Structure 1
């Protein structure tokens, strides 16, 4: 793999810390500061809102000034989020905590573009492997994010979680340094194109392959976020597990999201994208069955591990499939639309998780996920039935 890909792996490991950091302590910190329990998961949902709001501006800027300057702006947003979160902890301000979550989400919108930058740094037959390599950085983030959340005493400190937010800002500065001195725009292997070139979006969206790709990532991310956001509260409030157990489940879940990236690029080349996505759907169904069957620590752990594996197979499969539906000059528009739909779905899921958990309990929340798995299966079937001729990369 080219140096650019490994630089993006390192940057992902640091900049992506915002996601597991807020997933772990967002609802817990929110419960301490929120005026009502129903708002406890709001900071977790607002991270995704920030991501959705920043996707189009981020891709618009990348199309005009290049990927690297926007990547640096993303790490700056992450640093600002850490500072605002620390200020929220110091002043016990729930609105300020929500602002920190939104700003952190804007930084993550840029981090999610790292996978496309990696795919553009290699030949087309290695695109899936490059995207999977970048996601490996999430392995480090899976452990580092929750660990730094407890820096300075965590929730037991005089100002709960203030030290963790400051540590998050410091990690974002490190990501900025890695990108500044490591990433080279000259390593991107794409042809130059006029801004706004290519086919109309209506013509692009008539292709079933586009919808199969988008649904894989959107459904995968939404269900993962829906269940994962509710898990810490379900474990600590409903099942009475200690906070340390909830932390371990979230860490191992996020590791399960990214660890398959060691083999998912190879798996795509061997079994093809459709079988990869089918395995992801099966993993999600297994997650629902296991989580529905009990609330012991091992029920939560095994279900969340399957949830992570299913997410990886669907997300990597969808990301690898997406370029089959666009030309080089269309990439920023299609990538922006893809991420807007993916993280818009995730935002809806994360924002609703707390209310759904309160209204329908853990088992009801799990059952709500099933129809969306069926939806992706239908869109996959439409794409597969409409395929004409094979391409160079197995589908």
Structure 2
């Protein structure tokens, strides 16, 4: 079964929704315009329940299946993220961001549109049993909006039994789906290291405790965690991304700052990194006669698909795009996603949908491909219809 005909008929309308959202990007939890636009569409579609203000600007809409006026039975959750990024847009599109310094550079405008398209179809047809919970989430980009929604009790409050999400994937063929039956994306942590030395004149280094050379020593030693403390056949990334110190050619500074990111899948590996990083920072500080402090922040956990849910999602994706266009055992990647919190709370699956050639995610020239919106909406709709078939007439 290809794209659902009724959803294909929404294509122009969906493009208009997406481009409106693209022109009005908002960040993190501050999604007043975005949430209002989504809620207005959902009311027009005739959803049975509309719950606003979850995680400040998040929304959960409920659609009851056929013959289910009492809102009983199993509930399947579908999630879309809504927030943009603090990036200056460089697409040159006539619908480019109207807010300088903010843009939809990750396609969340498209994700929201795909779920709205599925919502319109499901509210019209109701060709399923039980209920569907449409989850419109704020603050995926660094705010852990998924965690906030889970902590506020959406899974129990709405009786969600399974939960699914899609993310667009640039430079993957249009409409191709990718996922796997287990760990799909890594846990993401951050670290900050502050070094306090004793500054002085660059001509007299013997009178200083140089934080620059201590910083260099720490950065080099941190690389030994991956190369010497970790099994090479397992996945681990330790990346130093910033070093800040000094202000002049002839001044040895008093302080230095280092930060970076760690990506893991195994909590035991994560614990090893935390232990070795603390040992390295302390040891290097002692060897260079400076003080150094490590602030290690555990972030989002790994995104781990439920095997049965992933297999089911692959079946549905194959109906929509054809089996040849679905990879159900793609390699895991070191990027991260806060949908992981929802997958910790309930079984489910996360999939990528290809959007063709173009700029990558988080790039100023990125733009969501409107061609894939009906494909994603059809996937969501068929997922509900297949998971919870309508009762016989």
* TM-score where L is the length of structure 2: 0.28
Q: Which has the larger radius of gyration?
A: 2
Pick the structure with more helix per residue.
1
* TM-score where L is the length of structure 1: 0.28
